[in-house]
Amino acid sequence: MITWLKRFKTELLLFVAAVALLGFGESVVNSTLNNFLNDTFSISSLQRTFLEFPRELPGFLVVFISAALFFLRSRRLAVFASLLSSCGFLLIAFFPRSLHILFIWIFMYSAGQHLLMPLTSSIAMEMAHKGQDGRRLGQVNSIRNVATVLGSFIIFLGFKYFNFTFKTSFILAALVYLIAAAFFFRMEPGKAHPPKLRLQLHKEYRLYYWLAILFGTRKQIFLTFAPWVLVTIYHKPTAVIATLLFMGGLAGIIFQPILGKAIDQLGEKTVFIAEAIILVFVCLGYGYAKDVLSLSSAFWLVSVCFVADQLLMSVNMARATYLKKIARHPDHITPTLTMAVTMDHLFSISVALVGGVIWAIFGYQFVFLFGGFIALLSLFLAQFVHIPDKHKRSHDTVLLEED
């Protein structure tokens, strides 16, 4: 028993270190990518939208990529994914010759990131005590947020005081992803899932699939158009984007564990409803702040929306815990999480393209009006969330034991 506990703690430390490094690297890229594209290629809003295709296409293909790599166990697949992203960042740093070539490098690093999305959630829940999946995800994501804060802070300092270049940033991201791969490699290999299980759809999980799809479309609006509003409408430099990511990450350190406990104690349904209501107001703030406020006041409101939106992305862990509670078999969890990533990206890619056209023809306000409609759909579907009684009973038992 003592040996098992030591091994568990070692595995958890390795996993947390790897996830923290992933958060750091992702923060570095998110802080610089939009300004890199704008400064290097002077692309239009419509061209920026079409760049989302190679970045989000791996999300659609992730279930097929993971099925093709079925011979790799979960932690080994995480090693491969981290290395793939690292290579992509290095190629962007040294060979950003044209937009067409950049498409390939973006596809490469994005494929690694999308493979890691379901893997990190499922591994974290494997390392949770019974009835405390949300708490474990909250703890892990909080630590990841600390790394995100550090990454955006370093970018802020680097660009403002130390003459950082975009090349420096992408090399730094490549390095930390490489180290993350080493940590994943030191972990136990984990489980393997046959291709048939990875490619299977289960009608029992259809509500989960729809919740994931709506999350993907709303997420795409935030990732693509929210930073682009700050860069092109409010004309803010890299340091400002990094500062907002820093503030969101700092708030997330406190918010993530609280959210994790709320999921365990209040339930996923309550969390989904609260998320949808807040998102409606966030989208209205993004789209119409400049129309009703002075430019400076509008920027402050949009900044608050940006940070709030960043925090609400964490609610995706409630979708993961919801799936675990309704799963008919534990082996369904990782493949279904992966399938959900593919399904949500089928829609999110379309949303990115359609959103770019809407922006070009009608203006950016209508993109966020559409986002508000997506939030209302999520609010409607949240009413149908139901947790089986067996999970409620086990959850109540855990609470009694804690008391």
Lowest mean pLDDT among 2-6, 306-310, 366-370, 380-384: 2-6
Looking at residue 94, its amino acid is F
pLDDT score of 323 more than 60 = yes
Question: 206-220 and 316-326 are packed helices; what angle lies between their axes, rounded to 10 degrees?
Answer: 170
Note the pLDDT of residue 172. Answer: 94
Mean pLDDT of the region 308-337: 86
User: What does the alpha-carbon distance between residue 153 and residue 267 come to, in Å, rounded to a whole number?
Assistant: 34
Quote the Cα angle for 30-35-37, to 5°. 95
pLDDT score of 402 more than 60 = no
Query: Secondary structure of 302-371 in the HEC alphabet?
Result: HHHHHHHHHHHHHHHHHHHHHHHHHCCCHHHHHHHHHHHHHHHHHHHHHHHHHHHHHHHHHCHHHHHHHH
Note the pLDDT of residue 46. Answer: 66
Residue from 172, 185, 210, 131 nearest 380 by CA: 210
For residue range 358-367, list pLDDT tens digits in order.
888 888 889 8
Q: Give the best-scoring range by mean pLDDT among 193-202, 274-283, 288-297, 338-347.
A: 274-283
Quick one: what percent of the chain has pLDDT higher than 70? 89
Average pLDDT taken over every residue of the chain? 83
Instruction: Quickly count: other Cβ atoms within 10 Å of residue 396's Cβ.
Output: 11
Cβ atoms 62, 114 nearer than 8 A:
yes
User: What does the alpha-carbon distance between residue 116 and residue 77 come to, in Å, rounded to a whole number?
Assistant: 8
Please report which confidence band the pLDDT of residue 113 belongs to, taking 50, 70 and 90 as the band edges: very high
Whether pTM > 0.85 for this model: the answer is: no
Mean pLDDT of the region 308-323: 88
Chain centroid offset of residue 197 CA: 24
pLDDT score of 170 more than 50 = yes
Mean pLDDT of the region 164-192: 90
Instruction: Compute the radius of gyration of the chain from its Cα atoms.
Output: 20
Residue with tokens 């270049």: 165
112: which residues sit within 8 A by CB, 6+ positions away? 80, 81, 82, 83, 84, 85, 86, 88, 177
pLDDT score of 399 more than 90 = no
Please report which confidence band the pLDDT of residue 346 belongs to, taking 50, 70 and 90 as the band edges: confident
User: What does the alpha-carbon distance between residue 241 and residue 51 come to, in Å, rounded to a whole number?
Assistant: 19
Lowest mean pLDDT among 224-228, 239-243, 333-337: 239-243
Please report which confidence band the pLDDT of residue 148 belongs to, taking 50, 70 and 90 as the band edges: confident
Please report which confidence band the pLDDT of residue 394 belongs to, taking 50, 70 and 90 as the band edges: very low
More reliable by pLDDT, 149 or 110: 110
Note the pLDDT of residue 125. Answer: 81
Lowest mean pLDDT among 148-152, 166-170, 179-183: 148-152
- Cα 74 to Cα 121, 136, 273: the distances in Å are 11, 19, 32
User: What does the alpha-carbon distance between residue 166 and residue 188 come to, in Å, rounded to a whole number?
Assistant: 36
- CATH number for domain 2-390, candidates 3.40.50.720, 3.40.1030.10, 1.20.1250.20, 3.90.180.10: 1.20.1250.20
User: What does the alpha-carbon distance between residue 89 and residue 202 come to, in Å, rounded to a whole number?
Assistant: 36
Note the pLDDT of residue 340. Answer: 84
Note the pLDDT of residue 403. Answer: 37
Note the pLDDT of residue 192. Answer: 64
